[in-house]
Amino acid sequence: MRRDIYTADHEAFRELVRDFVTREVVPGYEEWERAGRMPRHIFEQLGDIGVMGLAIPEEYGGAGTDDYRYNAILQEEASRALVTLGTVRTQLDVILPYFLAYANKEQRSRWFPELAAGRLLTAIAMTEPGTGSDLAGIRTTAVRDGDDYVLNGAKTFITGGLLADLVIVVARTSSDPDNRRAGLTLLVVEEGMPGFTKGRELDKIGIRVQDTVELAFDDVRVPVANRLGEEGKAFSYLGRNLPQERMTVAVGSVAQSRAALDTTLAYAKDRQVFGNTLASFQNTKFELAAVSTEVEAAQALLDRAITELVAGRLSGADAARVKLFCTEMQARCVDRCLQLFGGYGYIREYPIARLYADARITRIYAGTSEVMKVIVAKSLGL
């Protein structure tokens, strides 16, 4: 179905990204998967063509546009080429908004030019062993000592943490037994600070080009000058970006489902079974017709939500609905596509295997499907 959310400027950007992905990402992608990370020079190349600084103000070397549709195009074009852009998505869609919203003038001058150039890489450290989605249960502490905070604790499942130069850490600076959400603060920990340790890389079943690590903080002295926003206000800060974070997952889910459909169509038309093409069998036609219908339905819902997000009107409940629907759709559709490959679908040299493994996390991170249902239920007064 025709999509009408993009302008000519967006489509010109799409061509730029498509060319970059074809030339710079696809040839080395399998090697990056084996290494478990995307090389740093790719981030710098993306900075050179303006991608890393899209939302950063022009005075700091960026483009000064906060139009989320450009971010969506990045994922769509990577998925079309059957790859992902590693932690680029996380940096632009999830982490950068915190810097844009809460960094003061001095921090902007210190960090923004290098962020726009792709020479400073970032991560955000929220999840702790045993806390999961319960951010109010964070136990990492930061105690004020003069012009520093002394940070102690551990974080896990930190996307991009291995390469990150700046890590936004959610830490508890005070406790209120009557309000577990109070007393959380955002501190930017820099690579090389004494006591800051990057632990083991977690061996994931999917999204293998995106490093995920454990982090530890042992009496790390973080200058007060590295605090983002006000002390004790982090819980409300984290909630404000959740709709976009969840939309980011939904965008990837739909784009990767479409990629699964396209690669399965090509395979079915070429694969010979019992003297006929796989595509000639009624079951194949029915399965792919069903997948196509689900993808189009999800795309329509997603495009409406993107429009609402760009206009500043997307609610948390609607973002939860979109993430829930699109990720559950992805699970069904990629599974049906892999089934049509038979045994070959289970072999990693076929892109459908990668798409299948990558799809499983989308119903977990940025809030599980169960958490999405709780949010939607609350919006219904339940």
User: Is 24 assigned a catalytic role?
Assistant: no
Q: Which amino acid, residue 280?
A: S
Integer-rounded Cα Rg, in Å, for the chain is 21
pLDDT of residue 132: 67
pLDDT of residue 133: 66
What is the DSSP code (8-state) at residue 28?
A: G
Q: Which amino acid, residue 271?
A: R
pLDDT of residue 281: 98
In angstroms, how far is CA 79 from the centroid of its own chain? Answer: 13
- Going by their DSSP bridges, the two strands 166-172 and 148-159 should be labelled as unpaired
Cα 263 from Cα 19, distance rounded (Å): 20
Tokens of 35: 């290494």
Q: What is the mean pLDDT of residues 310-329?
A: 97
Cα 213 from Cα 160, distance rounded (Å): 8
By CB atoms closer than 10 A (0-12, 13-18, 19+), residue 165 is middle
Per-residue pLDDT tens for 113-161?
Answer: 999 999 999 999 999 987 766 777 899 999 999 999 999 999 999 999 9
Backbone dihedral angles phi then psi of residue 251, each to the nearest 5 degrees: -60, -45
Cα 246 from Cα 252, distance rounded (Å): 10
Is there a contact between 129 and 140 (Cβ–Cβ < 8 Å)?
no
Catalytic residue among 77, 128, 245, 287: 245
User: pTM for the full model?
Assistant: 0.95
Higher pLDDT, 129 or 194: 194
- Going by their DSSP bridges, the two strands 122-125 and 141-145 should be labelled as unpaired
Q: Across all residues in the chain, what is the average pLDDT? A: 96
CB atoms within 10 A of CB 175: 10
pLDDT of residue 137: 82
